[in-house]
Amino acid sequence: MKRRSAGVVASVLCAGLAVGCGDSPAGRSTPSLLDAKGEDARVVSTEFWIQLAAVGLVFALVAAILVASFVRERRRASEEASPHAHHAEGVAWVIVGGIALPVVVLSALFFVYVHDIARLSSQEDRGGPIVVDVIGHRWWWEIRYPKLRIATANQLVLPVGGRVALRVTSKDVIHSFWVPQLRRKIDAIPGSIGSGWISAQQAGIYRGVCSEFCGLQHARMQLLVQAMPQARFAEWVRNAQRAAPQPSTASERAGRDVFTHNACATCHTIRGTTAGGNFGPDLTHVGSRPAIAGAVLANTPGNMGGWIADPQHVKPGAEMPAVPLNGTQLRDVIAYLESLR
């Protein structure tokens, strides 16, 4: 009996891991603020190490004084000193250790802190030439480049070294936009716009998460920030601005018709087709995205099929309904969506 229940627990855990971790291309490990790859995160992580070093030193000092005073008191008890000298020494300790030292240490830390805050907020105003609107939805991120007329989802692309201005808001409940390796959190609040900027100093893919509990799939409301060299970024922009490519095979053509003639088209936009819904992510270039479903599934035909066939199985509570499709229709839709690069 015991062995059987252990087996059940193990299989449930495995299933939980398989679903929970997904196979997002940014990897399974939780991104760390201390593994900073962006200017903002670097200021914050440096501040963390300075504070940690300062409190560590103070702790070590206090512990050493404590031990030394125990040792001295023991020796004194056997030697017998005058109570007057004892009192004067106690006052000196209170003045130095209880007032002077804390004033010096806390003032130094305060100035470091104020300096860092000033650094972060002065840059905040400058922003960058590229503006990105980040809109939280249950449970995915809508990403728009209004000046460049680009719309995508769960994917924020930026040039390495360049600063991108962010305007963060929400369509439904409060979310919080957080890319630990690149910048601090910005709350996504319905009816208000939080601003800031983001930059990456190294090319790569960085995982972002929602850090404000927003319901059932809160933990799996993620996005991937792709930082690429300027030339590749310019190429990405040119491609993302184009309408969807025309289907080139019979299966892709059939898939487009299935998509535009079914409920898919009422929720999703594919520019260049009749699909113009704006409830779900814009899918004009969905085939070129590294991940789907709130960036928790790698963008593979198998994952795409599983997500379309049974969204509630992949993300219980998700607002995407299952559209009844037969096997051929499903295969064609997958072929079409994967061709949208």
Residues that bind ligand CUA (CB under 6 A): 136, 139, 175, 210, 212-214, 218, 221
Nearest approach, Cβ of residue 186 and ligand CUA (Å):
12
Helix (H, G, I), strand (E, B) or coil at 159: strand
Q: Determine the Cα–Cα distance for residues 337 and 341; give it in Å rounded to an integer.
A: 8
Nearest approach, Cβ of residue 292 and ligand CUA (Å):
17
Nearest approach, Cβ of residue 218 and ligand CUA (Å):
4
- Work out the number of other CB atoms within 10 angstroms of the CB of residue 282: 21
Q: Which is nearer to ligand CUA, 31 or 159 (CB)?
A: 31
Q: Are 205 and 25 in contact (CB under 8 A)?
A: yes
Nearest approach, Cβ of residue 230 and ligand CUA (Å):
31
Q: Determine the Cα–Cα distance for residues 221 and 170; give it in Å rounded to an integer.
A: 13
Residue with tokens 């559209």: 323
| Closest C-alpha to 183, from 127, 235, 234, 233 | 127
For 219, the token pair is 């933990």
Q: Which is nearer to ligand CUA, 188 or 325 (CB)?
A: 188
Nearest approach, Cβ of residue 36 and ligand CUA (Å):
23
Q: Which is nearer to ligand CUA, 175 or 185 (CB)?
A: 175
Tell me the pairing of strands 150-153 and 183-188. unpaired
Q: Which is nearer to ligand CUA, 168 or 221 (CB)?
A: 221
Q: Which is nearer to ligand CUA, 220 or 268 (CB)?
A: 220
Nearest approach, Cβ of residue 171 and ligand CUA (Å):
11
| Residues β-bridged to residue 176 | 187
Q: Determine the Cα–Cα distance for residues 81 and 251; give it in Å rounded to an integer.
A: 98
Q: Which is nearer to ligand CUA, 221 or 340 (CB)?
A: 221
For 298, the token pair is 């790698």
Measured between its terminal Cα atoms, the distance across the chain in Å is 53
